[in-house]
Amino acid sequence: MTIAIGLPLTAHRSDMSSTLDTRLPQVTAAWAEWLPGVAGLLVLYVPTFYELATTLWQQDEFAHGPIILAVIAWLIWDRRQALFASPARTAPVPGFALLVFGLLIYAVGRSQDIILFEVGALAPILAGVLLATRGWPALRALWFALLFIAFLVPLPGFFVDALTASLKNNVSAIAEQLLYTASYPIARNGVVLTIGQYQLLVADACSGLNSMFSLSALGLLYLYLMRYKSWLHNGLILVSILPIAFCANIVRVVILVLVTYHFGDATGQGFVHNFAGMLLFIIALLGLFAFDSLLRVAGAFFGRGHKA
């Protein structure tokens, strides 16, 4: 009996080790193949990201940068098979064209201090290398990681200025209306809210623009991971991300005003720095999940009705 059991076991084990033995050199060979590409990327982007980490990413508005970078790295890692698969057909012409185009954009961006170009060039550079060495299937497998690079790029200044100003005004106006309706002694002058004895300035950070940016990134990532088949479902969630972020920001500002009014300026200011941003995120994410569940329930309901 023991022999009978032992035999297949040892047979199985030798089987395993033989597959391991053949796989291991292949994997290392595949990694080695990527060495020149990885070295090139490091030379291009280690200085860039080091500078970003010591300057831009230090500011609250761009603090999401390293997280986005980590997410991109993870997205690529998640699809690493595509990097090592032996290609049936590659696309060297569009690949090298994209790569050179990306490198030119990079060179202009890096030398002229246009971060938009410098960081944005990462997408065509990666896409070019993938096409030239692995072909279209690899690009398709990694499309989302490449798209996500868009969130690594700081929004252009004029765009931010224009949006921030109008968002701030809208947020202050709506917050004033809400609190006035709730019969609080509130008045507004531009972006300065006066409640009771306190005066609150709705600062740039309160425009909610940054939260809209990071929530868009999170929302897209969520959709990507959920892999809903329905275009309608995906589309509705996409469209709802920004309004949800906007409403969450209004809730934040209103809570901030109320905390200041009821508990004093010091508590209000402490609250701003410690908790309000986090709260906004939690509210917005809960809103997004709630909307998603609603859609799923509705989908199940109508889907069943359709079948019957």
Partner 1 sequence: MKSINQRMIICGLLMFAGAGLAWAITPTQKIADAREKADLDAMIPRQIDEWKIDTSIVPIEPSPEVKALLNKIYNQTLSRTYVDPAGRRIMVSIAYGGDQSDSMQVHKPEVCYAAQGFEVFNIVAGILLTKYGELPVKRLIATQGNRNEPITYWVVVGDKAILSGMKQKFAQLSYGLTGKVPDGFLVRVSSIDRDRQSAYQQQEEFIISMLGAMSETNRARIAGRFGA
Q: Kindly report the number of other CB atoms within 10 A of residue 31's CB atom.
A: 12
- For residues 171 and 176, what is the distance between their CA atoms, to the nearest angstrom? 8
Give the nearest distance from C-beta 112 to partner 1 in angstroms.
Answer: 4
Contact between residue 276 and residue 255 where contact means Cβ atoms under 8 Å apart? yes
Q: Catalytic site residue 247?
A: no
Of the two residues 36 and 235, which places its CB atom closer to partner 1 in the complex? 36
Of the two residues 107 and 242, which places its CB atom closer to partner 1 in the complex? 107
Interface with partner 1 (CB under 8 A), residue from 49, 96, 136, 281: 96
Build a one-symbol-per-residue string for 27-56: x at contacts with partner 1 by CB under 8 A, - elsewhere: ------xxxxx-xxx-xx------------
Build a one-symbol-per-residue string for 109-148: x at contacts with partner 1 by CB under 8 A, - elsewhere: xxxxxx----------x--xx--xx---------------
Burial 276-308 (b: 16+ CB within 10 A, else e): bbebbbebbbebbeebbeebeeeeeeeeeeeee
Contact between residue 288 and residue 219 where contact means Cβ atoms under 8 Å apart? yes
Token couple for 81:
């098979």
Q: Catalytic site residue 23?
A: no
Of residues 134, 252, 296, 304, which has the active-site annotation?
Answer: 252
Build a one-symbol-per-residue string for 53-92: x at contacts with partner 1 by CB under 8 A, - elsewhere: ---------------------------------xx--x-x
Q: Is 90 helix (H, G, I), strand (E, B) or coil?
A: coil
Give the nearest distance from C-beta 12 to partner 1 in angstroms.
Answer: 31
Build a one-symbol-per-residue string for 151-190: x at contacts with partner 1 by CB under 8 A, - elsewhere: ------xx--x---x---x-------------------xx
Of the two residues 6 and 185, which places its CB atom closer to partner 1 in the complex? 185
Q: Is 200 helix (H, G, I), strand (E, B) or coil?
A: strand
Phi/psi at 249 (5° precision):
-70, -35
Give 229-234 contacts, CB < 8 A, sequence gap 24+. Answer: 230/299, 233/295, 233/296, 233/299
Of the two residues 131 and 284, which places its CB atom closer to partner 1 in the complex? 131
Query: What sign results for the dihedral spanned by CA atoms 39, 44, 49, 50?
Result: positive
- For residues 217 and 148, what is the distance between their CA atoms, to the nearest angstrom? 8
Residue 93 touching partner 1 (CB under 8 A): no
> Which amino acids are annotated catalytic?
206, 252
Give the binding site for partner 1 (CB under 8 A). Answer: 33-37, 39-41, 43-44, 86-87, 90, 92, 96, 99-100, 103-104, 106-114, 125, 128-129, 132-133, 157-158, 161, 165, 169, 189-192, 201, 203-204
